[in-house]
Amino acid sequence: MTHIDINKPILDKNDKLAQSNRELLQEKKVFALDLMASPGAGKTTTILATIEALKDRYKIAVIEGDIASNVDALKIKAAGIPAIQINTGGICHLESDMIRSALDQLPLDELDFIIIENVGNLVCTTEFYLGEDAKVMILSVPEGDDKPHKYPGIFQTSKAVLISKIDTLPVFDFDREDFETTVKSLNPKAPIFPVSAKTGEGMEEWIDWLTAQIDKVKFA
């Protein structure tokens, strides 16, 4: 029996265009972050808090990925930041051709930092390289501490992990020690940042790490 892996040609095509995106971003010295999480994990709120901390230092834009609607892009624009909305129409992840279309609409010569808010999903967002400098994931306290056991791939792929809504820790049964131990077993190099965009807890450490990543590209 002949087995045909239909994912391989799809991923090969995606990766070739992603490499073109990578070369364009490198040429323009723009750092691109692919932010992944489940729906409701606090991606947009964390993005807005991150923008607030960095907007005086860097020129920032956001690419918003959703199956439908533009509610998050409108929130970003209300904060004074350029935002491009991508609606996938049912696809559970962004792909490199979608990112290229968005990049073509952005003033790359005037930017330092692009945040890509991927579609809410813990599985297929990990498989599609977009040309980004780093993938980072957010897991919220209410989602539970067992997610690294159930979805190891996204933790292995991420360059950093944020535990969001850390201010709710007293309310939920979330074993932070077990969570962090499991994440470190999957990805020893990834720093873990417990944060609350609402209270500001932990944001300084996250911003310091992110600033170092941006500056590596900006001043390369």
HEC letters along 151-180: CHHHHHHCCEEEEECHHHCCCCCCCHHHHH
Residue 2 has pLDDT above 80, yes or no: no
Residue 12 has what pLDDT?
A: 84
Residue 71 has pLDDT above 50, yes or no: yes
- Global pTM reads 0.93
Distance between CA atoms of 166 and 146, rounded to whole angstroms?
16
User: Average pLDDT, whole number, for the chain?
Assistant: 93
Residue 139 has pLDDT above 60, yes or no: yes
Residue 79 has what pLDDT?
A: 94
pLDDT digits (tens, 9 = 90+) for 9-30: 667 889 999 999 999 999 999 9
Helix (H, G, I), strand (E, B) or coil at 89: coil
Residue 8 has what pLDDT?
A: 63
Mean pLDDT of the 138-160 span: 97
Neighbours of 175 (CB within 10 A): 12
Residue 1 has what pLDDT?
A: 46
Q: Which two tokens stand for residue 188?
A: 């020893």
Residue 67 has pLDDT above 90, yes or no: no
Residue 52 has what pLDDT?
A: 97
Mean pLDDT of the 166-195 span: 97
Distance between CA atoms of 169 and 4, rounded to whole angstroms?
46
